[in-house]
Structure 1
Amino acid sequence: MGAEAFRALCERVRERTRRGPEDRRGTLGHLTPARVVAATREVMTGRTVSLGAPVDTRPGPDNPEPARHVMTAPEPGRRPSTGLDFARDRFAMNVHGDADSHLDALCHVLFDGTLYNGVPADSVTPEGATELTVDVVRDGVVGRGVLLDIPRLRGVPWLEPGDQVTAADLAAAEAAQGVRTGPGDVLLVRVGHRLRRRELGPWKAAEARAGLHPDAVEFLVDRRVAMLGGDGNNDAAPSAVEGVGFPVHVLTVHAMGMHLMDYLRFEELAPVCEQEGRWSFLCAVAPLRLPGATGSPVNPVAVL
């Protein structure tokens, strides 16, 4: 996609999803209380499945700054005492890396000097963001989740790095799985990134990864999706757009006001959906309350 075509797509997406100038929730506006109530009817067996990957504390080609987990008590070599004591630990993470499951807040993507809905870029300060932070979703996101499995559609275990998922692919996956994405849904798109990483080992995902083609975003607009999650970055690499490294992030987070979840894990969910013959479920997303943050570690849960 050329630069001019991308700009035209960006403006078209923005116009089709435009809300009032004071809006700070973006596409979460599609997820009404009535749709939350309706989503609870997706629960049939009560089975719960984690959609987050285990936090990776090992360095690797896709994780040069791994999360750090250290025990702060008891002290090494200290003999257990009688009575009460506590084990304690500390945790630190590079939230927007290429290994760990995380949620992107609407202040994460700066494009042409602004954030979503024209919020000035200087609202992101060295002390933290002052608008569109992860606090927008402090009450969590609970709604109907839909998993579209693109490797299943193509008859392969995973998509190879650099492959791209189009709007036509998403529609074909719906037809193959007998499901339809609707207003207020949390759409999850599997490309098989996690399975490939497990089977072949990590690689430089910043340079090569499967993801959505920019034209897939119009599918999200048409269906009035509330939130998007993928088992990769959602953006493919190399980018489909010259001069724009993360076009899907620009179109969703910046133009639409859509929270993204990157590097989720669907290897437990997909077999359960296959066994039960249904690809929709109740989905609960509860990011941490981190004042001023541009994102959060996340462990969404599917309830079937």
Structure 2
Amino acid sequence: MQCDRISLNWPLSAQTKSKKAFYQRALFHQEIIHKKTRFVNDDTWTFNTQISSQWDGLRHFGYQKEGNETTVNVIQAMAEQGIIGRGILLDYHSWRLTQDPPIPYAAFEGSSMPLHLLAIAKSQDTEVKFGDILLVRSEYFVEQEKKREEELSLWIWENFSAVAGDQPIFESWPIKQSYSLYEVLLAGWEMPIGELFDLEKLAEQCKNEQRWSFFVASEVCNVPGGVASPPNILAMF
């Protein structure tokens, strides 16, 4: 049986041509080592683990008021069995363009993206199942209202095992409430957060198949004590 496989990994070097990376993180650097006099090569890579597609590990963002962080169930714990399961894509970007009038959106101007995820799931005829891995194609996920931030938290808690999107941050920033969604998901619920996933080909595949659910397999790097990791992730149909 044929299995279509879609990579959700943005190139590690994707931001190297930019004048500055998101949040001033160190850019990816590659050095090719020619093993003369033979035709043999090695290479070395240096990069911030959050410079491209990533899973945030549990020690990335602790409870700020308590001043603590976890150093136990971090990246190496995720590497033991990987992050796998049923994934769903909620394609906000495509959905907003079908509205009358289309919902305006400016990704890099701090504009607010209203919380329409339930409406998107309904329009796609996508059933949300307990334990799903949520992927949001938004081009920059921002939600400004405190009430809706609380609704989002509850909805995630009741349904998902991991959340991710194509944006460099998964919640409104600066935050409008007394707590950060990062604190709750990472330090409180031990729920991985994925960022900067490449969802363009996935969205096209879902549209062609008229199905926005698929199998997800991700194997993070096994780095004891690591903060984050490239996802090494595939969506399979």
**Fold shared, TM-score > 0.5 on shorter chain:** yes
Question: Normalized per residue, which structure has more helix?
Answer: 1
Q: TM-score, normalised by structure 2?
A: 0.83
Q: TM-score, normalised by structure 1?
A: 0.66
Which residue is 1:295 aligned to?
A: 228
Which residue is 1:66 aligned to?
A: 27
The correspondence for 1:137, drawn from 75, 78, 89, is 78
Which residue is 1:219 aligned to?
A: 155
Matches within 5 A, 1:1-12: none
The 8 Å contact of residues 145 and 185 in structure 1, kept in 2 or not, is answered as yes
Q: Matches of 2:73 and 2:143 in 1, distance apart?
A: 24
Q: Matches of 1:234 and 1:178 in 2, distance apart?
A: 27
Which residue is 2:106 aligned to?
A: 160
Q: Cα deviations across residues 266-303 of structure 1 (Å, max 9, x unaligned)? A: 01110110000000000011100011111111231000
Q: How many angstroms does 1:219 deviate by? A: 1.3
Aligned to 2:87, the other structure's residue is in SS state strand
Q: Cα deviations across residues 225-252 of structure 1 (Å, max 9, x unaligned)? A: 00001100343454241676xx231231
Q: Matches of 1:170 and 1:67 in 2, distance apart?
A: 33
Aligned to 1:132, the other structure's residue is in SS state coil
Indicate the structure (1 or 2) with the bigger Cα radius of gyration.
1
Q: 1:87 to 1:132 in 2, by over 3 A?
A: same
Is 1:111 the counterpart of 2:44 in the alignment? no
Which residue is 1:183 aligned to?
A: 130
Q: 1:229 to 1:285 in 2, by over 3 A?
A: same
Which residue is 1:54 aligned to?
A: 11
The 8 Å contact of residues 53 and 263 in structure 1, kept in 2 or not, is answered as yes
Instruction: Give the count of matched residue pairs.
Output: 221
Q: Matches of 2:133 and 2:104 in 1, distance apart?
A: 22
Which residue is 2:167 aligned to?
A: 232
Which residue is 1:284 aligned to?
A: 217
Q: Could you list the runs of 5+ residues in structure 2 that have no partner in the other structure?
A: none
Q: Cα deviations across residues 131-161 of structure 1 (Å, max 9, x unaligned)? A: 1210111121110000001112211698423
Q: Cα deviations across residues 158-212 of structure 1 (Å, max 9, x unaligned)? A: 8423344455x1100100111022111110011125xxxxxxxxxxxxxxxx335
The 8 Å contact of residues 158 and 191 in structure 1, kept in 2 or not, is answered as no
| Amino acid in structure 2 at the alignment position of 1:48 | R
Q: 1:192 to 1:181 in 2, by over 3 A?
A: same
Q: How many angstroms does 1:255 deviate by? A: 2.6
Q: How many angstroms does 1:58 deviate by? A: 3.2
**Sequence identity percentage:** 22
RMSD, matched Cα: 2.5
Q: How many angstroms does 1:54 deviate by? A: 0.9
Q: How many angstroms does 1:114 deviate by? A: 4.8
Which residue is 1:206 aligned to?
A: none
The 8 Å contact of residues 186 and 227 in structure 1, kept in 2 or not, is answered as yes
The 8 Å contact of residues 34 and 41 in structure 2, kept in 1 or not, is answered as yes
Which residue is 1:174 aligned to?
A: 121
Q: Could you list the runs of 5+ residues in structure 1 that have no partner in the other structure?
A: 1-43, 124-129, 194-209
Q: Matches of 2:49 and 2:182 in 1, distance apart?
A: 16
Q: 1:114 to 1:235 in 2, by over 3 A?
A: same
